[in-house]
Chain A
Amino acid sequence: MPQPNSSLRPAYILGGNRTPFSRAHGAYADASTKDLLSAAVDGLVARFGLQGERLGAVAAGAVLKHPRDFNLTREVVLGSALSGQTPAFDVQMACATGMEAIGSIAEKIRLGRIESGIGGGVDSISDAPITVSDAARAALIRLSRARTLKERLAAVASLRPRDLAPVAPGTDEPRTGLSMGEHQALTALAWGITREQQDELAMNSHRNLARAWDEHFFDDLVTSYRGLNKDDNLRADSSMEKLGKLKPAFGRKLPGEPTMTAGNSTPLTDGASAVLLGSEDFAASHDLPVLAEFVDHELGAVDFVSGDEGLLMAPAYAVPRLLARNGLTLQAFDFYEIHEAFASTVLSTLKAWEDPEFCKDRLGLDAPLGAIDRSKLNVNGSSLAAGHPFAATGGRIVASLAKMLHAKGSGRGLVSVCAAGGQGVVAILEAR
């Protein structure tokens, strides 16, 4: 097993910025992913006075991306207040895009390759790329290659009306044809997660996020955008009663009562986030605050195609590897940020870590990782309340967690983000 390398220098989280998250087709209906990511980056630049600064690198990405945005992050940097000499690259790892972008910047800093950087992500369902069908695409390519009128006519004639219907991007898993929700319904059923447990987690997410907004927690983490000042999926008055009235949305064909509703699943959301990282020297020379150290991160993946494991269970495997590498127990944390793709994702993961059989058979551990103190879980809300613009979620979590750790003054935080394709990224932050 790889060990933490003591010759590396620490990488620090200096701050973050995001747009308020908006339910799809709402406040950001006319904003492109480029607009949104630009807003997040420019807000970060304004907060930290980085105008004209040449950063080491900017890494970000979007899950739903237009082909024309092949250089999305670099284009955003060019249009931003940062120096045009700041390199940028796109990252793509489904819902873990933001985490991997931040992690890769942290690694470059730890290796001494760069002094500073921004990691983040953006997604907009409202700006989803609509494509043409494969048949239409083939005909159009044939048309562009045609040399004679006859060839051109033949190419056009090969088009059938049904070929012209636009194709919206799917979030279904290409290898199983199942939506993410249907996949999670299988996992929830396997782990026996009840409707009530899921609704309770959702309710807490809303209440915690509402409290955090009321306490001005987001004053230096969010910059308003297009008239939206707050995450608009937030329901401060969420209750078990209201959540209990919602009809099941997933797993209706599975045995037993379906448990997953629109209330305990994340809605499609638009938004962007950006996190500023730097070395100790960079922070000191720029009079910037140091909130937390980005200690380590670990990627995970599971074989969900064969049905061997649930689609969103990769973090359950990645966390024990990360803990072992850093010599920590699951209980050694003051905050747990487990991305709420679905309430049952969080609950299945926690249950797996408590399960002796899973921990022995699947993780190869002598004893289960054990339970966590639930009062330390997603204390300022998570994706069920805030929403989940896929690639932007990592930046939301890391910036918020770094601020919480800095305010506490000591301790560690664990981040866990699951992703499509059976993947996930987990990370450890430590207070400064």
Chain B
Amino acid sequence: MAEMNGYQGFVTAPFGRALAKQLGLPRPARLRRYRAGAPLVPGPVLLLGESPLATELGEALLGWDLDVRTHDAGAAQPGAVVLVLDDAASPADLAAPAMDLAPALKRLAPGGRVVVLSRLRAEGDAPELAATREAITGFVRSVAHELRGGATANGIELAEGIGLDAPSVLGALHFLFSGRSAYVDGQFLVVDSTRGALPQDWEAPLTGQVAVVTGAARGIGADIARTLHRDGATVVLVDVPQAGEALAKVANEVSGTALQLDVNRPDAGQLILDHARTRHGRLDIVVHNAGITRDKLLVNMGRDRWDAVININLASQLAMNRTFLDAGLAGLRIVSLASTSGIAGNRGQTNYAASKAGIIGMVAASTELFSEGNGGINAIAPGFIETDMTGKMPAGPKWAGRLILPSLQQGGLPVDVAEGVAFLASPAAGGINGRTLRVCGQSLIGA
């Protein structure tokens, strides 16, 4: 991380900036991350779109005390642009909105947001409709690649029949607007049900909830614990006994309780449940973060490395989820840590990528199981995140992972992953179920 800060500092200072420009080096911007009390977006919101949903949305955004404009007067620097395309039915319908978006992009504030609302392509869509809906995804992803200054473009895809009566549409929009989504770029959040609830207080959406985080002693897990605590949750921090000293420190920092436990134990789920119930009276959120890498080319791997990774990263989660369901906790909100390695594959990570792709399959197939109340199960797939784990990578892939591949031109921070987890863990994400959200700065590399 220090290496990255050094590079970022150099290319943003006057001499370095000039040199980097000359050489065509990436010039990563400082991302707009969440700070309590900071404005939701760094400027007025430009709302583009003609559908009834667009009108409804305009009213909802006024309720958030935002400066909402429906015409680009060309004066102010927009903090966000929302493009509502839910009624697009033919590829021809996309030309005008695309052209309308263009001038606003030029003046988008640093750390600005582009959010496109569209319909999710579904089985049975006529070819023309399906083509239109899918075209939007390519459009959004490419806009994301073109943005600079730490600005991002993402989409919210609504299943047929889903409108603003589904709380998660506004929940997702709020997340994508805010600094919480700083490292989410070129991605889509799918809302397919009206379940879920918006928080009383957007700054403390997890008030009164009890959350368990596995692998919480360090790195991403520790930041997940901190972020859930910041959002109001009481946190149970789980890690192996060998990590006890670090675990205790984080637990004391977030006023949580430390539970030393190897998630590989067959009774891990029960022990977690017992702890949460006896010590905190309930269990609302489980974050399956514990995971390991044992990288080797498959030809050199050996059964022990394979088994260790599959057991800890995947089998343990399946077993724990079964325990939670058997205990009647179908209303849990579960967030599992996948990885972009599980989507794109990665040399030397056959075991790890298998386990992480398995997570994506697991959450997709568990939606019916966790569908009581605001329950749900989703995954976060981090890209290149600056942690102890990625710090040990060879220099080539490490710098490629940081600077070249992501359109945000930098590795993410553990807190970026934690923010995504906290959103998916919140009741506001109740209408999002079985999905995997990438937090990768729009790249496809990383552990």
Contacts and interface: CB of A to CB of B under 8 A. Distances in A.
B242 A229 contact: yes
B256 A49 contact: yes
A49 B244 CA distance: 15
A216 B243 CA distance: 14
B300 interface: no
Interface in A216-232: 216, 218-220, 222-226, 229
A287 B278 contact: yes
A48 interface: yes
A225 B244 CA distance: 8
Nearest to A218: B241
Contacts of A229: 241-242, 244
B249 A42 contact: yes
B279 interface: yes
A229 B247 CA distance: 13
B279 A223 contact: no
Given A222-B244, A224-B243, A226-B245, A46 B258 contact: yes
Nearest to A289: B278
A52 B244 CA distance: 20
Contacts of B259: 47, 220
A51 B254 CA distance: 9
Contact of A46 (B257, B278, B279, B280): B257
A223 B265 contact: no
B252 interface: yes
A397 interface: no
A272 to B, nearest CB: 13
Contacts of A315: none
Q: Which of B245, B280, B281 has the most CB of A within 10 A?
A: B245
B251 interface: yes
B255 interface: yes
B430 to A, nearest CB: 28
Contacts of B68: none
Contacts of A219: 241, 260-261
B191 interface: no
| Chain B contact patch, size range | 20 to 34
Interface in B225-268: 237, 241-245, 247-249, 251-252, 255-262, 265
Nearest to A51: B255
Contact of A287 (B241, B261, B280): B280
A289 B275 CA distance: 10
A173 B210 CA distance: 54
Contacts of B252: 42, 45-46, 51, 81
B210 to A, nearest CB: 11
Q: Which of A43, A225, A289 has the most CB of B within 10 A?
A: A43
A225 B243 CA distance: 9
A47 B257 contact: yes
A47 B244 CA distance: 10
A287 B244 CA distance: 22
B247 A46 contact: yes
Contacts of B261: 219
Main SS at interface, chain B = helix
B249 to A, nearest CB: 7
A224 B245 contact: yes
A296 B143 CA distance: 74
B245 A223 contact: yes
A225 B246 CA distance: 9
A46 B281 contact: no
A49 B257 contact: yes
B248 A49 contact: no
Contact of B245 (A39, A47, A49, A220): A39
Contacts of A39: 245
A288 interface: yes
A224 B255 contact: no
A225 B259 CA distance: 16
A3 B281 CA distance: 40
Main SS at interface, chain A = loop
Contact of A220 (B247, B260, B265): B260
Interface string A192-221: 000000000000000000000000101110
A287 B280 CA distance: 7
Contact of B279 (A43, A49, A51, A226): A49
A81 B252 CA distance: 6
Given A49-B255, A51-B255, A81-B252, A225 B245 contact: yes
Contacts of A42: 248-249, 252
A52 B255 CA distance: 8
Given A49-B279, A51-B252, A288-B279, A43 B257 contact: no
A287 B279 contact: yes
A315 B114 CA distance: 76
Nearest to B237: A46
Contacts of A81: 252
A220 B261 CA distance: 9
Contacts of A225: 244-245
Given A287-B278, A287-B279, A223 B249 contact: no
A398 to B, nearest CB: 19
B265 A43 contact: no
A313 to B, nearest CB: 37
A287 B281 contact: yes
Q: Which of B244, B252, B255, B280 has the most CB of A within 10 A?
A: B244
A49 B236 CA distance: 9
A226 B244 CA distance: 10
Contacts of A220: 259-260
B274 to A, nearest CB: 10
Given A49-B256, A49-B279, A288-B279, A224 B241 contact: yes
Contacts of B247: 46, 223
Interface in B280-332: 280-281
A144 B249 CA distance: 44
A215 B247 CA distance: 21
B257 A48 contact: yes
Contacts of B262: 216
Interface string A71-82: 000000000010
B278 A43 contact: no
B433 to A, nearest CB: 31
Contacts of B257: 46-49
Interface in A84-115: none
Contacts of B242: 224, 229
B248 A223 contact: yes
Interface in A101-135: none
A225 B242 CA distance: 9
A309 to B, nearest CB: 42
| Pairs of residues from A and B, 4 with the lowest C-beta to C-beta distance, nearest first | A46-B248, A46-B251, A81-B252, A223-B244
Given A52-B255, A222-B244, A223-B247, 16 more contacts: A42-B248, A43-B258, A46-B237, A46-B247, A46-B252, A49-B255, A51-B252, A219-B260, A220-B259, A220-B260, A222-B241, A223-B248, A225-B245, A226-B245, A287-B278, A288-B279
26 contacts: A42-B252, A43-B258, A46-B237, A46-B248, A46-B249, A46-B251, A46-B257, A46-B258, A47-B248, A47-B257, A49-B255, A49-B257, A52-B255, A81-B252, A222-B241, A222-B244, A223-B244, A223-B258, A224-B241, A224-B242, A224-B244, A224-B245, A229-B242, A287-B278, A288-B279, A289-B278
